[in-house]
Chains A and B, each alone.
Chain A
Amino acid sequence: MSWINLRELAKKRSLFTSGHRLCAGCAAGIIGRLVMHSVPDPKHVVVVHATGCWEVAGTIFPYTAWAVPWIHNAFENAAATASGVELAFKALKDKGVVKKVPDIIVFGGDGGTVDIGLQSLSGAIERGHNFLYVLYDNNAYMNTGIQRSGATPRYAWTTTSQVGKVIPGKLEARKPIANIIAAHGNAYVATASPAYWRDLMEKARKGIEYKGPAFIHAISPCCRGWRFPPNMTIRVAKLAVETCAFPLWEYDPETREYKLSPPSLAIAKNPKLKKPIEEYLKLQGRFAHLFKPEKREDLIARIQEDVDKEWNQLLELCGIT
């Protein structure tokens, strides 16, 4: 029996409150609410945030949308900041200043996690601090205006991977951040999509309760940067999973095993359910150049090849062959 009782849960207001200034339809707001509703004890949690659109949108001075203690330090050091918070509360608990060490949740975008913050995150994971790091991956530096990141998928348009006569958007594939974190060996790692909210919440709770570092890589469709209407956020987040562009899985550091989560496991069991990547791409204006003025079958095929290779590699990791 899951701890999630929707009718009871929905009576509570979010610890990340209304009045924040994320764009209409932003997935980060949904991910934030779902994660914060997964906190076992709302009275004992501290949130650490990397610089990014969500960090900014939640705390435009003199306002704060955080109903829990919250700290933002800089762009590249959220994991290090969280490490310090954890050590301080351990020390203060030893001295009897606080009753218990709070749960620590870190939120960082793909810029702050995959690129500029990777070193500090890797260092913190290696040291084994007890926190849950949630990467909300909107595939680019959205806060500064949709610039390419290490998490931007191949052929996506961004303002620094422009589409021109010579170059069709970003030429490189994205960095496999969740695998990189899993490779540290000591962290609970999971991927999640807000479309599969119950899965996301269960993983968040698991990550919080895991005694050690936990990392959730959540896909966070961005209507402004990906160029789709704001009401389509969850549809896009769902298609990412259905096309296997963003499969859902977990890594258990105790057994060192990868495991597909139910929505992706269903596809693994019945490959006919796997939708072509084109369905995901065509919803998004950042891939419009793959369809207009003429359809670029070659580029779409290349993206499909990326997806298939990653998916097959994942199946192998999960022991499904």
Chain B
Amino acid sequence: MMLALNGDEAVAYAVKQSNVDVIAAFPITPQTIIVEKLSEYVANGELKAYYACAESEHSAISMIVGASAAGARTFTATSANGLALMHEILYIVSSLRLPVVMAIVNRALSGPINIHTDHGDSMAERDACWIQIYCEDAQEAYDTVIQAFRIGENHKVLLPVMVMLDGFLISHTTQNVDVLEDEKVSNFVKHRIPAEIEVFGKKVPLTLNPENEVPLTFGPLDLWDYYFEHKRQQEDAMEKSREVIRKVHDEYAKISGRSYGNGFIETYNMDSAEYAFICLSSTAGTVKSLIDKLISKGDDKLGLVRIRTFRPFPYEELPKALEGVKGVAVLDRSGAFGAMGGPVYNEVRSALYDSDVHPFINGYIYGLGGRDMTMEMLKSIYDDLVETVKSGKPKRKIEFVGVRE
């Protein structure tokens, strides 16, 4: 069924259909529409969940910890400063192995205060052991939220999942979103079934439920002698999530007819490409338009690799996608002050280092605080990249695109 929804509404609609038990959130622009819609669904009885208005994002995610540990399926959403306020608890969520789903409507972090999109907020949380999926449009945000519950709750995974969409560009822009029937989604996500662990010689659900045979303790003091082992388990879960992300993506494709590359990366015109752009989220749409325009003028040498799943990072998929490419322009919508480039740039270069694929790689930081990325800017990046390859001299220097000198 086709509905005219903006990105926030698409997220809320997916949550409504996903048998969620507890929602706790605090409003922040541009996430606000998500929580308003969820409040409306609960008030109307369309969504049978408990929706708590927290007095801060810190308490919102803290409530979610309690609810998820008790065994509930949980959802929250935030942006920018709200996410930064949650920072401390994000690590606790993943260490307690709680399959929380959270939508992040990407927004620039203060300061100075700004409400428009960039990826500085979620990039700052990339090491929190949350699965991170960046969506290009409202349709993908809808589809990905539904997938997120299945991914996080999978017993091989048991990790929280962040679903990113660009503030305003996607969150507040109405597009046609093809939503599935309620029953189809419900059958796909089912209800949360807690994993079992073996403690005191008994197999018990990993929840706070007093009706369990053995009461469990969550969040003990964990010192030098075991903390490292618990972190190693988290890394193992993150690695195991790769297979699950792919399977859930493929299974969802079967019921919806929609897929996003292989679930990790999506490529566009890479068969004939000698040059490639790598980016996340809505900028991919503009890049695709540029590629189409270039093709219409007879230049089919530019392709796109959109990274959809940033955590776990697709370090195996990337070299394959970039085979035969001479030059790569990595677009980062977040700063990395003092580093040798933005986070996507660094991950991409690191992924290629041990492979046989060694194109020139230029890093471009763009769009901070919602600054537009225009076709003209993208074209100038393309020209710059071609120039780098022709000159044979790598830049190894970050370019800032769209900032006034």
Interface residues of chain A, those whose CB is within 8 Å of chain B, are 43-46, 48-49, 55-56, 59-64, 66-74, 76-77, 80-92, 94-95, 97-99, 102, 119-120, 122-124, 126-127
Contact = CB atoms under 8 A, between A and B. Distances in A.
A307 to B, nearest CB: 33
15 contacts: A43-B210, A59-B221, A60-B221, A70-B217, A71-B65, A71-B217, A77-B62, A83-B59, A86-B66, A88-B68, A88-B69, A89-B70, A91-B21, A120-B55, A123-B55
Given A73-B62, A81-B63, 17 more contacts: A49-B219, A59-B221, A61-B221, A69-B210, A72-B219, A74-B88, A77-B59, A80-B63, A81-B66, A84-B66, A87-B21, A88-B66, A88-B74, A90-B50, A92-B71, A99-B211, A124-B59
Contact of A87 (B48, B52, B210, B225): B52
B216 interface: yes
Contact of A45 (B92, B210, B225): B210
Given A56-B221, A59-B220, A71 B59 contact: no
Name which of A44, A74, A123 has the most chain B CB atoms within 10 A of its CB.
A123
A119 B59 contact: yes
B69 A85 contact: yes
Contacts of B68: 84, 88
Contacts of A94: 48
Interface in B31-90: 48-50, 52-56, 58-60, 62-72, 74, 88-89
> What are the 5 closest A-B residue pairs judged by CB atoms, nearest first?
A84-B66, A123-B55, A88-B70, A84-B63, A59-B220
Contacts of A46: 70, 208, 210
Contacts of B212: 69
Interface residues on B, range: 35 or more
A69 B56 contact: no
A86 B222 CA distance: 26
A91 B49 contact: yes
Given A43-B210, A74-B89, A80 B70 contact: no
B67 A70 contact: no
B111 to A, nearest CB: 22
B52 A71 contact: no
B22, B66, B221, B226 pick with most chain A CB within 10 angstroms = B66
Contacts of B60: 80
Contact of B59 (A72, A87, A97, A120): A120
Contacts of B225: 61
Contacts of B191: 95
Given A84-B66, A92-B71, A73 B226 contact: no
Nearest to A81: B66
A55 B89 CA distance: 17
B215 A66 contact: yes
Contacts of B209: 69, 92, 98
Nearest to B21: A91
Interface string B213-233: 001111111110110000000
Given A44-B210, A80-B62, A92-B70, A70 B215 contact: yes
B70 A72 contact: no
Contact of A80 (B22, B54, B74): B54
B170 interface: no
B59 A73 contact: no
Contacts of A70: 208, 215-218
B328 interface: no
Contacts of A67: 215
B70 A84 contact: yes
B374 to A, nearest CB: 43
B66 A71 contact: yes
Contacts of A71: 65-66, 69, 208, 217-219
Given A46-B210, A62-B226, A120-B55, A81 B220 contact: no
A138 B222 CA distance: 24
B62 A81 contact: yes
B209 to A, nearest CB: 6
B265 interface: no
Given A71-B218, A80-B54, A88 B22 contact: yes
Contacts of A85: 66-67, 69-70, 208
B231 to A, nearest CB: 13
A88 B72 contact: yes
A86 B21 CA distance: 12
Contacts of A76: 58
A282 B211 CA distance: 49
B284 interface: no
Interface in B86-116: 88-89, 92
Contacts of A124: 59
Contacts of A83: 24, 52, 59, 63, 66
A64 B217 contact: yes
A184 B211 CA distance: 33
A50 B225 CA distance: 23
